[in-house]
A and B are shown apart, each in its own frame.
Chain A
Amino acid sequence: MPPIPGPDAAARIRPAATPQHLLRNFCIIAHIDHGKSTLADRMLQATGVVEERAMRAQYLDRMDIERERGITIKSQAVRMPWQVGDTGYALNMIDTPGHVDFTYEVSRSLAACEGAVLLVDAAQGIEAQTLANLYLALAGDLVVIPVLNKIDLPAAQPDKYAEELAGLIGADADDVMRISAKTGEGVQDLLDRIVAEVPAPAGDPEAASRAMIFDSVYDTYRGVVTYVRVVDGSLTARERIAMMSTKATHELLEIGVIAPEPVPTTGLGAGEVGYLITGVKDVRQSKVGDTVTDAAVPASEALAGYSDPKPMVFSGLYPIDGSDYPDLRDALDKLKLNDAALTFEPETSVALGFGFRVGFLGLLHLEIVRERLERESGLDLISTAPNVEYDVVMEDRSVVRVTNPSEFPGGKVSAVHEPVVKATVLLPAEFVGTVMELCQQRRGVLTGGPDYLSTDRVELRYTLPLAEIVFDFFDALKSRTRGYASLDYEPAGDQVSDLVKVDILLQGEQVDAFSAIVHKDKAYDYGVTLTAKLRKLIPRQQFEVPIQAAVGSRVIARETIRAIRKDVLAKCYGGDISRKRKLLEKQKEGKKRMKTIGRVDVPQEAFIAALSSEEPKKK
């Protein structure tokens, strides 16, 4: 019989009436596939919050994409009862997003906790993103409980990785717990240990109320659901709350806890975690990191650590069928309600028509947004090659911000600033040489390492231009290390670099969708590669078509599509006429799907293929 609190103990840990010393707030830090969702499922079962038969795999991951990819995009917080000895405790498990794009959201989730379970696959060891999140947790003074998962796997090397974890957090290898979330082995011990080691919250229950928003989710039926951790004071149902960053006030329509479905309560006390519903319809009105206070008796100072999400990566999104443009706008508007980090504005491309320049936190964010747009709205989209944002300083000292390479100013440029990141790469020692070479090629500057985490695992730290990462760095890294390397990065300001815009011209006409901002030393490679690719992709026309790559007015690469010489049906007799006319009608329809650049007809497929990183297969 698992130690689930009985009626007496349960009465002492009711929401809004639980003393802080009976609360434990923790999160699980883990890499994709290391078993976080399975562990969360097992904890829900062990604490009796979810009955066995109601269990569905990965209970907390709600969206289809999350379930399919096995990753968590949006966090939630579940309240679970647990008894140690005679005392009942309320445990709040705060689920955290697990990817590099969502570092800020992770940091806010961590700030809602006093402790963290560091969950690592006993067959794989720690990954770079987990390490980065671990450092965030340590910097936030969280108590870290190291746990090796999947010890039931034949390939598990628990002794080796226990040493590695112990070394990272300055503990003894014996302190590293060994569990199997799949079989449930060790899960109850882990819950006990959370109660024993994670400190209770220590806010001031009497002070003016302050609660930190660590997540904000749009729900079609309820509007925005805001997840908060109360730090000081308390929140009660039906009070008026204020958002401290915007001073906006809202009526509290509902307040409650997740167990694991929403349960309304009379309020939330100091140290507690739960949700608020105010009726707002846009997550931007309830921003992650903001402080919620009582509008009648507001706190004087907001909680630290708030910042606005800043898009780092930009891409043009265009409907393949131009008439879908209004649908794309509607779909983006809808998605925006649930994604405070998504920014977009209309743009026009000569090549691709009407679309949007969309800002993303990173590449995964881009991929997720694109996939959700296609899936939920049934749109076929082209996305242009991702790029970063540049500040171009002109000789007259004016500054032009460039989010679309085709807008890169001509004229007298004195300096170009590009964003850089601090990157951490974890990899098997045998690949150090090849990875250092890759980072070098991508204009990286080594800032730390190689540091040995264990006898054969190494950490490298680099400063890298973000633009080099958003292209295909991750793929290159994986392929050079047979998939063993992992990468994490965080923004680290910008640097002045010798960057130029390479334009692609078809018959002398610039094709905006193919313009790119690249380092001067790489302009030639880009030009040669793209012109060669286009030569294979664009069908021959009745005239010769030069394809040029140019920096300013200087042509750096050139290919020629030879003129087609023969396009005629050899025979057109009585029995051929109807078929031939129908073919003609079809070709005319097909021409509507062509984009005409100058006089050159370019099939949509050529744009898609040229913008993707794969080699074209056929003409």
Chain B
Amino acid sequence: MSPALPEGDPAPPDGALPPQVADGAGTRAFGVYVHVPFCRVRCGYCDFNTYTSDQLEGVTQTSFAAAALAEISLAAQVLDAAGVPRRPASTVFFGGGTPTVLPPGDLAAVLGAVRETWGLVPGAEVTTEANPDTVTRQSLAALAEAGFTRVSFGMQSAVPHVLAALDRSHDPAQVPRVVDWARAVGLRCSLDLVYGTPGESLADWGTSVRAALDLGVEHLSAYALTVEPGTRMGGQIRRGTLPSPDPDLQAQMYETVDDAATAAGLPWYEISSWAAPGQQCRHNLGYWRGADWWGVGPGAHSHVGLVRWWNAQHPRAWTQALDGGRSPAVGREVLRPDQVAAERTMLGVRLSDGLPLAALGPAARHRVAGLVADGLVDGPAAVRPVAPAVVLTRTGRLLADVVVRALV
């Protein structure tokens, strides 16, 4: 989760939501996101909202679970007060940071609070992100025991010099080990990869992709390295001591992973996500399909109906608000219909299901033909008689922002 919070209106101290968030709530899926803002080391490329132990300014990792429980309790009150019916959560996702730097018991306690407060739908998806060197056979077993169903490992690369450039401390050989342990206790596995790291060749990337797919995981995410200003890597590139990622090379790398994943039986279902049939991450699909979710934790974003809001970023500010019985939310926006439409377009085109043509206004619909002609949008999907949709071609996936700008 990116650290820079958007600009918005101030959120009220009690976190109260306007009553219209209840409209249609019964038809929308409900998820819970838990942001665990702790890492052992800060990686040079990462601008996520996370802190190492010496950056916590008085709060401790051990107090996190208690504060998270307080936010869940507040969430239930706020949603009840707004008239949103209590819905069991279909997905819970622990992200970070590195959630697995916390003891499995803390994660289990937070999951337990979600279950007690709202309940979980049968077969709910419960995921945690993990670094390969922050889990053991025992901790994974404990998570599975607590009700986790899925783990997403930050593999990033299988090539030592690339991992070093990313400041990743794990031994590549650790990845097959943790995947085995996870499977042994019944957890589904996803791997995250990063491509376009300075110094990474196309061959290096091919090695990483093969290593990931050879493990037989059912889900893969691959992200082009994005250089963020304010990170150590951003500074090095600005000063010229590191080469900037080459977008043309990154495009080739995308094609490499897309070819390999498809061949391994994991077709794309979102621009940066590939999965075996039925193995898509349902929690993430909720983001792209406009589901409701409550984000628990420092800097976490939430979305219910027409309202998006976000919490105070620093763990101390977040903890203090909850200790004082106040909402940790600091900003929010109530979306106008044109903003809802823009988000729907922006998110919908990322999916292999595509954006229903019916979601577009007449002018935008008119422009779809041009995008088809440019090879960015799949022609047959756009003109099929049943549920015509804007589905990106592979060229279009690499130029998704061009498509979005044409359609909003």
Contact = CB atoms under 8 A, between A and B. Distances in A.
B271 interface: yes
Contacts of A580: 346
Contacts of A571: 223, 226, 272
A52 B404 CA distance: 70
Interface in A386-428: none
Tell me the dominant secondary structure on chain A's binding face: loop
Interface in A568-604: 568-582, 584-585, 587-588, 591
B347 A567 contact: no
B4 interface: yes
Given A574-B293, A580-B346, A591-B405, A565 B339 contact: no
A570 B223 contact: yes
For A543, A566, A567, A582, which residue has the most chain B Cβ atoms within 10 angstroms?
A: A566
A364 interface: no
A202 interface: no
A297 interface: no
A581 B345 CA distance: 10
Contact of B398 (A543, A567, A578, A579): A567
A572 B226 contact: no
A564 B247 contact: yes
Contacts of A447: none
A485 B251 CA distance: 55
B405 A579 contact: no
Interface string A523-552: 000000000000000000011000000000
Give the contact-size bracket for chain B.
Answer: 35 or more
Contact of A566 (B251, B272, B405, B408): B251
B70 interface: no
B380 interface: no
A542 B402 contact: yes
Contacts of A564: 247, 399, 402
Interface in A155-210: none
Contact of B399 (A566, A578, A579): A566
Tell me the dominant secondary structure on chain B's binding face: mixed
Interface string B1-43: 1101011100000000000000000000000010000000000
Interface stretch (B200-208, B210-218, B294-302): B294-302
B342 interface: yes
A224 B302 CA distance: 69
Give the contact-size bracket for chain A.
Answer: 20 to 34
B8 A578 contact: yes
Given A577-B308, A579-B4, A543 B374 contact: yes
A565 B250 CA distance: 9
B401 A575 contact: no
Interface string B54-66: 0000000000000
A591 B33 CA distance: 36
A574 B333 CA distance: 14
A575 to B, nearest CB: 4
Interface string B367-398: 00000001010000000000000000000011
A584 B346 contact: yes
A577 B347 contact: yes
A587 B300 CA distance: 26
A584 B405 contact: yes
Interface string B281-316: 000100110000101000111110000101000000
Interface in B296-352: 299-303, 308, 310, 333, 339, 342-343, 346-347, 350
Contacts of A572: 287-288, 346-347, 350
B272 A575 contact: no
Given A543-B374, A582-B6, A566 B247 contact: yes
B2 A581 contact: no
A596 to B, nearest CB: 13
B254 interface: yes
Given A565-B251, A570-B223, A578 B301 contact: yes
Contacts of A582: 6-7
A573 B346 CA distance: 12
Contacts of B271: 568, 570
B400 interface: yes
B116 interface: no
Nearest to A543: B374
A577 B343 contact: yes
B224 interface: yes
B259 to A, nearest CB: 16
B405 A581 contact: no
B6 A587 contact: no
A573 B333 CA distance: 17
B401 A577 contact: no
A543 B375 CA distance: 10
A576 B2 contact: yes
A578 B224 contact: no
Contacts of B402: 542, 564, 567
Given A542-B376, A577-B287, A565 B405 contact: no
A428 B14 CA distance: 82
A587 B405 contact: yes
Contacts of B225: 570
Nearest to B406: A542
A574 B285 CA distance: 10
Nearest to B248: A565
B224 A579 contact: no
A576 to B, nearest CB: 6
B408 A565 contact: no
Given A572-B350, A577-B347, 19 more contacts: A565-B247, A565-B251, A566-B247, A566-B254, A567-B400, A569-B400, A570-B223, A570-B271, A572-B287, A572-B346, A573-B287, A574-B287, A574-B302, A575-B310, A576-B2, A577-B346, A578-B6, A578-B8, A579-B4
Interface of B: 1-2, 4, 6-8, 33, 223-226, 247-248, 250-251, 254, 271-272, 284, 287-288, 293, 295, 299-303, 308, 310, 333, 339, 342-343, 346-347, 350, 374, 376, 397-402, 404-405, 408
16 contacts: A566-B247, A566-B254, A567-B399, A567-B400, A568-B271, A568-B400, A569-B226, A570-B225, A571-B226, A576-B1, A577-B301, A579-B2, A582-B6, A584-B405, A584-B408, A587-B405
Interface of A: 542-543, 564-582, 584-585, 587-588, 591
